Amino acid sequence: MTNGKGRDIKPASGKLGVLLPGMGAVATTFVAGVEAARQGIAKPIGSLTQMGTIRLGKRTDDRSPLVKDFVPLAKLEDIEFGGWDVYPDSAYEAAKKAGVLDASHLEPLRGFLEGVKPWPAVFDPQYVKKLNGPNVKKGKSKRDLAEQVSDDIARFKKERNLDRMVMVWCGSTEVYRQAGEVHSSLAAFEKGLDESHPDILPSMIYAYCAIKEGIPYNNGAPNLSGDFPAMVELAKKTGTPISGKDFKTGQTFMKTLLAPGFKARLLGMNGWYSTNILGNRDGEVLDDPESFKSKEVSKLGVLEQILQPQLYPDLYGKIHHVVRINYYPPRGDNKEGWDNIDIFGWMGYPMQIKVDFLCRDSILAAPIVLDLAIFSDLASRCGMSGIQEWLSFYFKSPQTAPGLYPEHDVFIQLMKLKNTLRHLRGEELITHLGLEYYD
Ligand SMILES: NC(=O)c1ccc[n+]([C@@H]2O[C@H](COP(=O)([O-])OP(=O)(O)OC[C@H]3O[C@@H](n4cnc5c(N)ncnc54)[C@H](O)[C@@H]3O)[C@@H](O)[C@H]2O)c1
């Protein structure tokens, strides 16, 4: 039963261009997976937009349509890919080098992936110290570089006859920067572009170009990129949805599954030690302390927000939270994340939990890229602009309105996401009060 107050949603007609700054392991695994699903070779496992359902009304109503049948989403068949990278490799060559997918998946997709070639990147090795490739734009100023990116976008739109576009940053993690004066307003940022201000990083230039054109921008890495006042101002001005930061995939995903459970049972915690070994290019980039700093800040915030030590000083007032990432080439993309968790229970007796997650980073990230592309396009067609907190579900360090703390509990995030969809369609929100308990 609906309350008849759904939003006006523009139809998802025509083609959707997905713009990918950074075409490495994650982006090429995403592109290959979408094409594999289109060809019927593989299923889009892990994607809420493709495989998820949504309960509507009372449990006794027995209404649980697929999300994609409930809200008008772009179809996989209507997606076109474009992107930039520091290296000129096609998506096929890049995917082969990344070593995520095996030949049995890559070879049938070869022709298609070879057709996805990156445009020259806006890049400067001072912001990602471990990389230095040849496929890089030259420009008189950062403004000039931004104009070149805008030209790429306009050309892509015309050549592919696109109706709409979205952008998902899948580039390397840049060095840590906090928002400063040049990020404080749109006017300051645009002046900074003219003056090639050193605190305007390449990812911010892509974000600026997208948001200026009303193209939803989603940031999969922990660097600021679109998360500062000037970009929020621009997003409001152009009516553009933005979201970030840092895809929530392996270890932090585990953390946001487990920590809410401990807190729900009021089990105390002394410490959480997390370490990773990772051998892909992302691992190499994160071997640089300045890029790791961006990642560390993104990973450390989670526990504090979930456990709320200010409300539970006896349980969580003194936690030693440590996160390490070690570059270890033999593992490639198949990261291993170990967690040691020191908890305590009744009368203070200590216990330990060990988690060893042998995961595949890009396999976990690819469906997130897809869902962000598809949901941010939906947001745009619904007239939702600015920070999309309902997409926090996908991020380690969710972007929030100023003054609000981010919600990290993955189940609260999912409820917020699904209730947003229910709201858009004028369905009753599910609060789990009364008789209805399970979604
Ligand atoms: N895989 C995961 O589970 C996961 C989770 C969270 C965040 N991330 C982040 O996603 C990003 C991509 O991860 P990945 O494993 O694909 O890394 P990757 O190193 O395989 O790919 C990143 C690509 O970005 C390119 N690049 C760097 N700077 C660029 C620029 N300015 N313009 C265009 N291209 C640029 C690099 O050349 C590289 O090909 C990283 O920032 C990573 O930290 C990944």
Q: Which atom of ligand 1 is nearest to the CA of 249?
A: 3
Distance CA 66, CA 52 (A): 6
Q: How far is the CA of 220 from the centre of ligand 1 (A)?
A: 8
CB 293 within 8 A of CB 175: yes
At 433, the pLDDT band (50, 70, 90 cuts) reads low
Compute how many other C-beta atoms are within 10 angstroms of the C-beta atom of residue 330.
7
Q: What are phi and psi of 145, to 5 degrees?
A: -65, -40
Residue 285 located in a structural domain: yes
183 and 169 within one domain: yes
Q: Does the structure show a pLDDT above 50 at 437?
A: no
Q: In terms of domains, do 132 and 219 share one?
A: yes
For residue 439, being part of any structural domain is answered with: no
Q: Which of 172, 336, 396 to mutate to test the pocket of ligand 1 (most atoms within 8 A of CB)?
A: 172
| 374 and 263 assigned to the same domain | no
What is the DSSP secondary-structure string of 415-433?
A: HHHHHHHHHHTTBPPP---
pLDDT tens by residue, 57-105: 888 888 999 999 999 999 999 999 999 999 999 999 999 999 999 999 9
Per-residue pLDDT tens digits for 279-293 = 887 778 877 777 777
φ and ψ at residue 217, rounded to 5 degrees: -120, 130
Which range (9-23, 41-55, 123-137, 412-426) has the least confidence? Answer: 123-137
**Domain end residue (candidates: 307, 326, 358):** 358
Contact criterion met (CB below 8 Å) for 351 and 345: yes
278 and 415 together in one domain: no
- Among 419, 393, 425, 423, smallest CA distance to 406 is for 393
Residue 438 domain flag:
no
In this structure, what token pair is assigned to residue 389? 């907190």
The per-residue pLDDT for range 165-205, each reduced to its tens digit, is 999 999 999 988 889 999 999 999 999 999 999 999 999 99
Q: Which residue has the higher pLDDT, 417 or 61?
A: 417
* Stronger pLDDT, 4 or 117, i.e. the higher one: 117
Q: Which residues pair with 325 in a beta bridge?
A: 276
Taking the C-alpha atoms of residue 278 and residue 339, their distance in angstroms, rounded to an integer, is 15
Q: What are phi and psi of 212, to 5 degrees?
A: -60, -35
Q: What is the CATH number of the domain that holds 97?
A: 3.40.50.720
Quick one: 101 and 87 in the same domain?
yes
Residues 390 and 369 in one domain: yes
pLDDT score of 195: 96
48 confidence band (pLDDT: 50, 70, 90): very high
pLDDT for position 335: 85
Give the tens place of pLDDT for each residue, 368-405: 999 999 999 999 999 999 999 999 999 999 999 888 88
Domain end call among 330, 358, 386: 358
The token pair that represents 335 in the structure block: 């990261």
Are residue 43 and residue 157 in the same domain, yes or no?
yes
CA distance linking residue 123 with residue 343, whole number of Å = 44
The set of protein residues with a Cβ atom below 6 angstroms from ligand 1 is 21-27, 84-87, 98, 121-123, 128, 131, 133, 170-173, 202, 220-221, 246-247, 249-250, 280-282, 285, 361-362, 364-365
Total domains, the chain: 2
Return the pLDDT at 3: 54
Q: Which of 142, 249, 282, 393, when mutated, tests ligand 1's pocket best, judged by the most ligand atoms within 8 Å of its CB? A: 282
Whether residue 437 lies inside any domain: the answer is no
| Shared domain check, 238 and 162 | yes
pLDDT band at residue 4 using 50, 70 and 90 as cut-offs: low
CATH number of the domain where residue 344 is located: 3.30.360.10
| Percent of the chain with pLDDT strictly greater than 70 | 97
Q: List, for residues 305-361, the tens digit of each pLDDT value.
A: 899 999 999 999 999 999 888 889 988 888 899 999 999 999 999 999 999 999 999
Q: Exposure of 128 by Cβ count < 10 A (0-12 exposed, 13-18 middle, 19+ buried)?
A: buried
Question: What are the tokens at 106?
Answer: 């890559």
Q: What is the mean pLDDT of the chain?
A: 93
Same domain, 156 and 285: no
Confidence class for position 438, pLDDT limits 50, 70, 90: very low
Q: Is residue 145 part of a domain?
A: yes
Interior CA angle at 373 toward 367 and 376, to 5°? 130
What CA–CA distance (Å, rounded) separates 60 from 62? Answer: 5
Verify that 330 and 188 share a domain, yes or no: no
Q: 292 and 239 share a domain?
A: no
* CB distance 378 to 73 below 8 Å: yes
From 358, 373, 392, give the residue that closes a domain.
Answer: 358
For 116-158, what is each residue's pLDDT tens digit?
Answer: 999 999 999 888 888 889 999 999 999 999 999 999 999 999 9
Q: Which amino acid is residue 389, in one-letter code? A: E
Considering the domain architecture, whether residues 373 and 337 belong to the same structural domain is answered as no
Residue 240, both tokens = 């553009």
Long-range contacts (CB closer than 8 Å, 24 or more residues apart) made by 417-422: 417/48, 417/390, 417/391, 417/392, 417/393, 418/54, 418/55, 419/390, 420/390, 421/54, 421/67, 421/70, 421/71, 422/54, 422/56
Residue 238 CA neighbour count, 13 Å, CB half: 20
Question: 267 C-alpha vs ligand 1 centroid, how far in Å?
Answer: 37
Q: How far is the CA of 283 from the centre of ligand 1 (A)?
A: 10
Residue 234, pLDDT > 90, answer yes
Would you say residue 439 has pLDDT above 60?
Answer: no
Instruction: Identify the CA nearest to 63 among candidates 4, 117, 148, 2.
Output: 2
- Which residues constitute the domain of residue 259? 251-358
* Closest listed residue to residue 296, CA positions, set 276, 271, 269: 276
Cβ atoms 79, 15 nearer than 8 A: yes
Cβ neighbours, 10 Å, residue 2: 12
Residue 296 has pLDDT above 80, yes or no: no
